[in-house]
């Protein structure tokens, strides 16, 4: 494990990532982490697809162009991690791929030029995160999300306590990194879904 990249709130292997706080109550078997992510801005793009990799690859190109300067301010923006994909529970639906907006731009993110790219503010959220390695493919994410669901139930986190309409695939490394790769699957706490529903009804 000596080559394992550093992982802590705010950074990963030299890349900026969202700040988070670990909850006081963590599973004794360390099968997942319980994290609290505060409100933050993300840059996102939506795609309709049957496969999250195809949706993610297409959206990633638009997002990468945005950080390379395809924004109204023509700003070059640092890459952040992880790249996250909101995966719906339906077989074919709308996928949302997102980059975290660096702290430098959190208060005023540059406006995208591409109409497919948008800035969204995500509220405080509890995240249940399971880590795994390798070059993750669709079956790997499915296997890990099912394992995470079993881990949660075993530790008393019921479906009533989580948002079951989606889960998140998170990738931290470029294709050039061959060893000690970090992938995660996230299940969101129910508080995120409740806030979304309340905002929609206001």
Task: Please spell the DSSP secondary structure of 90-152, one letter per residue.
Answer: SSSEEEEEEEEPPGGGSSSPPPBSSTTEEEEEE--EEEEEEEE-SS--HHHHHHHHHHHHHHH
Rounded Cα distance, 153 and 179, in Å: 31
Tell me the C-alpha distance between 59 and 117, whole Å. Answer: 9
CATH superfamily of 30-201: Regulatory factor, effector binding domain (3.20.80.10)
CB 198 within 8 A of CB 172: no
pLDDT in tens, the chain (202 residues): 334 455 777 789 889 999 999 999 999 999 999 999 999 999 999 997 766 677 778 899 999 999 999 999 999 999 999 999 998 876 667 889 999 999 999 999 999 999 999 999 999 999 999 999 999 988 999 999 999 999 999 999 999 999 988 899 999 998 888 888 999 999 999 865 444 433 434 4
pTM, rounded to two decimals: 0.87
- Domain borders along the chain are 30-201
pLDDT tens-digit readout, 103-140: 999 999 999 999 999 999 999 999 999 999 999 988 99
* pLDDT for position 32: 97
Of residues 16, 11, 19, 12, the one with CA closest to residue 35: 19
CB 174 within 8 A of CB 12: no
Which pLDDT value is given to residue 50? 67
């Amino acid at each position: 494990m000596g080559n394992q990249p550093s992982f802590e709130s705010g950074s990963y292997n030299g890349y900026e990532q969202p700040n988070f706080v670990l909850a006081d109550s963590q599973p004794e078997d360390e099968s997942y982490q319980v994290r609290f992510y505060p409100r933050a801005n993300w840059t996102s793009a939506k795609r309709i697809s049957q496969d999250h990799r195809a949706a993610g690859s297409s959206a990633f190109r638009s997002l990468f162009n945005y950080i390379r300067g395809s924004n109204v301010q023509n700003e070059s923006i640092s890459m952040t991690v992880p790249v996250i994909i909101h995966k719906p529970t339906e077989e074919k639906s709308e996928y949302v791929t997102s980059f975290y907006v660096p702290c430098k731009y959190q208060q005023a993110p540059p406006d995208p030029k591409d109409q497919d790219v948008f800035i969204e503010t995500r509220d405080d959220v509890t995240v249940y995160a399971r880590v795994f390695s390798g070059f993750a493919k669709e079956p790997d994410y499915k296997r890990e999300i099912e394992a995470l669901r079993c881990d949660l139930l075993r530790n008393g986190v019921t479906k009533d306590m989580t948002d079951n309409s989606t889960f998140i695939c998170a990738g931290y490394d470029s294709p050039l990194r061959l060893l000690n790769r970090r992938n995660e699957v996230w299940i969101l706490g129910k508080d995120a879904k409740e806030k979304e529903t309340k905002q929609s009804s206001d």
